[in-house]
Structure 1
Amino acid sequence: MTDSFTIRSIEAFCYRYPLATPVVTSFGKMLNRPAVFVRVIDEDGVEGWGEAWSNFPAPGAEYRARLVNEVLAPGLVDRKFDSPTTAFETLTKGTEVLALQCGEPGPFAQAIAGIDLALWDLFARRQQLPLWRLVGGQSSRIKVYASGINPGGAAQTAEAALKRGHRALKLKVGFGVETDLANLSALRAIVGAGMLATDANQGWSVDQALEMLPRLAAFDLRWLEEPIRADRPREEWCRLRADAKMPIAAGENISSVEDFKEVLAEDVLGVVQPDIAKWGGLSACTALARDILKSGKTFCPHYLGGGIGLLASAHLLAGVGGDGWLEVDVNENPLRDLFCGSVEKVEEGAVFLSEEPGLGIVPDLSAVACHRSV
């Protein structure tokens, strides 16, 4: 097959899985797990799959699916492209004014990212290469960490994760000093000398974060993620970096090349975490990931959604290399487990990606038909 392809159809599918136990962050709860999967088919019948970030707000997933189907897809269907990046740039530039007029650069970026991931899966399938090899990877093995560990039942969740093969953990904090420290003590005992990180989900003021830093120092944390709001002045982030005994992490709420260039030029973030389903897809984030590594920082893709986006994140990490970890949510979610391929099989803290073309899976959406909402 030639590298160029003509897009014949683009369709988004929206799902919601109800939760018995909500997923909790410092800023809110998820009462169900949404997923927006995107399928692209070319003129040769080759298909590719992607996923758009859609966790918040509660009705956001259905909106993003409609953005794909009703606004973005018509701009690409029946057009010929020589690469996914060309299509990504066409969509991004073609909708900049519309997104500005709507005041919604986030939803547009997320919907475009979902299409972009599907196009990269399709592109790799056309070349009969696994996506991680197409991106330049040499090894299919990547390290993973258990994420989404809530303040309630943290120890039980951590123990279950270790039984499933995890050797690294990340705890959600920002729920009061007593709760946070008790959970950290329990998780450090459970994971032993293994990797332990924390995520405050933008939950503290700079003064609160500075007060917590010496208390966190006792737990040998691999990183402290988003201790303050992502949009706080750079001097506040610099103050935290000066006092912190562990690396500071962020990136999921950075959404422009310019802003990433700024953080890569500074000695503030030690771990940088772009979310390929939230902004940029692979078209923007592949080069970004390499720039993160060149800057001497650790690249750890952020991800908390369905299985297709998780699998794409795994392929990017394997493709660019480095010593980072893949974020794997350990809360109940069949929209993740049924579609993440070999990422579900964690062995001694790592997973191995397949040699099958593209992402290595063709999703069977009939398995979750009862959860479809759009």
Structure 2
Amino acid sequence: GEAPVLPSVTAEDQPAALAAVGRACAALVAARSAPLGAVLQDVADALPGHAFASARAGVEMAVIDAVANSIRIPLWRLFGGASNTVTTDITIPIVTPNEAAQLAAKYRGQGFQTLKLKVGKNLNSDIEVLKAIRLVHPDCSFILDANEGYTANQAIEVLDRLNEMGVTPVLFEQPVHRDDWEGLREVSIAAMEKYRVAVAADESCRGLHDAQKIIHGNLAHVINIKLAKLGVLGALEVIDAARKAGVALMIGGMVETRIAMGFAGHLAAGLGCFSFIDLDTPLLLSEDPVYGGYEG
């Protein structure tokens, strides 16, 4: 039957993505005897830009995984072999203080040391959630992810109020709207100068052009790499640009299963260049449709 239209995340919907994958597969058939680099470039040409990023990423992952299997080496070694393990944070969504405390206690028992907190809907509620978590997991590290939810002034106020509580996040991710470049710069300067807190650009970086703008303008201290946002080749381009400029890197995901997150984990382990690793989304799914794959 006709595929349902799903809510758009990267400007894609399911019918458009499936049609795009069909075009990419046609390109793969035509280029099947070409070198890997040329094959991946044909895929990128068939699925250009941010509009087809996750579809492009899926095809690129399949091709690269097939190559690794054909030469019988694990993906982490193909990507450089720095390590064969990674340690991820775990996310607490926007919930009540009581619910957040229950989750934090659970994750503490499971050994998670870094908690990523979704904030940005209501400043006062966010502070109450942070207080509740701190009571049950007093030695945890915090990553704050505002998902574009604050103004620059609100973001700085959050850091001020946390400082009054004796809490300093290890990272403040995407505090302002993705197009608020001046606000991003303002928060980055204040966060580092006042509290030595790094600020990460996530939604603000949707390709190499955005990454170069962030790097050259000193707009953020960290760039968050997501394969479903950039594609694999696109991600490698941004990673290379950031490393050459001395900008730190984070790796995260959208809401992928262990298939895509496993690939991202191999990339992160193999490259060994990520200061922050946020590959927890399969752990948050109510049902895991994947058999095999990586082990926790």
Query: What percentage of residue pairs aligned between the two structures are identical?
Result: 23
The residue number in structure 2 matching 1:110 is: 54
Contact 2:76 2:267 in 1 (8 A): yes
Which residue identity lines up with residue 113 of structure 2 in the other structure? R
Matched, 1:196 2:145: no
**TM-fit CA distance, 1:231:** 1.4
Which residue identity lines up with residue 221 of structure 2 in the other structure? G
- Which consecutive residues of structure 1, in runs of 5 or more, have no partner in the other structure? 1-13, 17-33, 35-53, 97-104, 346-374
CA distance in 2, matches of 1:239, 1:313: 31
**TM-fit CA distance, 1:176:** 1.4
The residue number in structure 2 matching 1:270 is: 221
**TM-fit CA distance, 1:230:** 1.0
Which residue identity lines up with residue 240 of structure 1 in the other structure? V
**TM-fit CA distance, 1:265:** 3.0
Change (3 A) 1:86 1:154: farther
- Normalised by the length of structure 1, the TM-score is 0.67
Deviates more, 1:54-63 or 1:263-272: 54-63
CA distance in 2, matches of 1:219, 1:336: 38
More helix as a share of residues: 2
Change (3 A) 1:95 1:64: closer
Which residue identity lines up with residue 103 of structure 2 in the other structure? T
- Which consecutive residues of structure 2, in runs of 5 or more, have no partner in the other structure? none
Contact 1:135 1:316 in 2 (8 A): yes
Change (3 A) 1:165 1:318: same
Contact 2:21 2:59 in 1 (8 A): no
**TM-fit CA distance, 1:144:** 1.0
Residue-by-residue CA offset, 1:309-343 (whole Å, 9 max, x unaligned): 1111111111111352321134233347646522x
**TM-fit CA distance, 1:83:** 4.3
2:156 paired residue among 210, 219, 223: 210
Deviates more, 1:218-227 or 1:317-326: 317-326
Which residue identity lines up with residue 221 of structure 1 in the other structure? P
Residue-by-residue CA offset, 1:180-232 (whole Å, 9 max, x unaligned): 01111222343333321111111122333233331233421011111111112
Cα RMSD (Å) of the superposition? 2.9
Contact 2:17 2:52 in 1 (8 A): no
**TM-fit CA distance, 1:57:** 5.1
Change (3 A) 1:191 1:202: same
RCO higher in structure (CA 8 A, sep ≥6): 1
**TM-fit CA distance, 1:298:** 2.6
- Normalised by the length of structure 2, the TM-score is 0.83
Contact 1:169 1:191 in 2 (8 A): no
Contact 2:202 2:225 in 1 (8 A): yes
